[in-house]
Structure 1
């Protein structure tokens, strides 16, 4: 089968492409610099401006592209964060509208930031009210842009990622003070972290691709969110470092930028759809997930 991926050279995209190629699928990856990559029998790199009707039929389209959230959120950065997501999503929807044979599924990335932040509310896919902060606005606009694919009679899924754990993303910044023997809770330690191992992110996307009952919002979070204090204790244990200090909110915010609000404020998000439909998490417990990242 053929699959088209935007953002296929990023943290999640590279792992997703590799996983699909294991199943003998062919992956078409959109990139602004195809000359920097080598095509092979299972991979074709395409410039983002070269989406044409000459491409073969696609079983599914996966939209992961977007300016990184990490860094200082100047007004220019905020505009790039929003524009990069909306422009690519619009490009893909227009491309699919012109395809003689429509893909069976369109999966567009989103984030649990959709819900806003809270220390006491529980969010599931049944939560309809979006938050009001910047990340919530970004997620809502992104999903609204992707939802136009529904009118093309394409099954459309918004995968709301939690804090993705792996060799990239937020985890290295969270682990840095622990590795420097200054580990402890971040801020007051009471904020919830709705996390997900990157391996499960990949498997959830594939699950959504091949299960026709999956549509609309899908929370890609592990079934056991943890408070920051407990998360950091397990991180310290996995890294075999002491847990005794407190990382000031301001220090972490300076290191991570405004995206730090997902760690400093957080939200309790449950993967209700995945649980109800019987998805089996590869890494449901944080201790095992961290050991997998650091000790395999």
Structure 2
């Protein structure tokens, strides 16, 4: 299978590509700087201006690109967060429109931030009303843009990522206070963390890729979300560090601004569509997932 991908050099992208090429697929990685990378037998780096007519038949497109959420959410940062997602998706749509043979499937990453924030509601793919905060608005616009692929007759999947755990991503930042013997809950600790191990992310994306019954929104989260206080307590246990300090929520907000909602607030999200279609999670439980990650050398 020939797969066209954006975001192939990021955390999820690199892990996904490694798995796909092991299964003998060829990945065409769209990047603004293809000259920085070296092509090989299974990966080809191309620019967004690459002549579409020179591409082979593309069987699938995966869109993982987007400005990082980390950093102070100034007006310009928030604009970059939104614009990077919309503009990259529009470029992908334009490429697919120009292809003589349309891809069988388009997977565009999204986020559980669409659901908004709650300590008591349970969200699934059937949840109809999005949240009203900044991340929810960004994700809604992102998904609206990606869904235009459906008008081309392409099976379209919106993978709503939760907090992805691995050697990269959020976990190193979440682990730092614990490693420094300052681990504890954030605020009241009741906010939910809908997490997932990177291996399950990679496997679920591929499950969506090859199973025709998968379409529309798909929550990419573990079936066992944890409250912040329980997540941090488990992390401290795995790292063999104390769990005792409470970080005041207003102080965190003061220190890092609006971005603090990523750790001060959350949502309980269940991967109902994955479970209904018999996807098997390798790491459904948090302690097992964390122990596997911590035990890895690289």
Bin of the TM-score, shorter chain as denominator length:
over 0.9
Per-residue deviation, 1:253: 4.6
What is the aligned-residue RMSD (CA, Å)?
1.3
Map 1:142-161 onto structure 2 (within 5 A). Answer: 142-161=142-161
Once structures 1 and 2 are overlaid, which stretch shifts more, 246-255 or 172-181? 246-255
Match of 1:275 in 2: 275
Whether the 8 Å CA contact 1:193–1:262 is kept in 2: the answer is no
Measured in 1, the distance between the counterparts of 2:258 and 2:19 equals: 32
In the alignment, does 2:112 pair up with 1:112? yes
Taking the TM superposition and a 5 Å limit, the aligned residue runs for 1:4-153 are 4-50=4-50, 52-153=52-153
Shift of 1:255: 6.7
Alpha-carbon offset, residue 259 of structure 1: 3.5
DSSP 3-state at the match of 2:120? coil
Runs of at least 5 residues in structure 1 that lack an aligned partner in the other structure: none
Aligned-partner Cα distance in 2 for 1:31–1:278: 34
CA distance in 2, matches of 1:266, 1:283: 21
What SS does the aligned partner of 1:287 have? helix
CA contact (8 A) 1:158 1:217 kept: yes
3-state secondary structure, aligned to 1:185: coil
Alignment CA distance shift 1:44-1:290 (3 Å): same
Secondary structure of the equivalent of 2:167?
Answer: coil
Maintained 8 Å contact 2:108/2:159 = yes
Further displaced range: 181-190 or 216-225:
181-190
> Scaled by the length of structure 2, what TM-score is found?
0.96
Structure 1 equivalent of residue 201 of structure 2: 201
Q: Deviations over 1:187-216 (max 9, x none)?
A: 210111100111111111111000000000
The number of residues matched between the two structures is: 296
Deviations 1:33-63 (A, max 9, x none): 1111110000000112325221011111000
1:231-284 CA distance string (max 9 Å, x none):
001000111101111123245456766343132110000000001100000110
- Which deviates more from structure 2 when the two are superposed, residues 233-242 or residues 246-255? 246-255
Who is 2:170 aligned against?
Answer: 170
Structure 2, unpaired ranges of 5+: none
Deviation at 1:153, TM superposition (A): 0.3
Matched, 1:231 2:241: no
Q: Is the 8 A contact 1:173 1:256 kept in 2?
A: no
Q: How far apart in 2 are the matches of 1:150 and 1:203?
A: 24
Q: Name the CA shift for 1:225/1:254 in 2 (closer, same or farther; >3 Å).
A: same
Q: Which residue of 1 aligns with 2:215?
A: 215
CA distance, structure 2, for counterparts of residue 223 and residue 265 of structure 1: 19
Task: Say which SS state the counterpart of residue 61 (structure 1) adopts.
Answer: strand
Distance 1:268 1:22, change over 3 A: same
Mapped contact 1:117–1:262 kept (Cα < 8 A): no
Structure 2 distance, partners of 1:257, 1:53, is 46
Q: CA deviation at 1:169?
A: 2.0
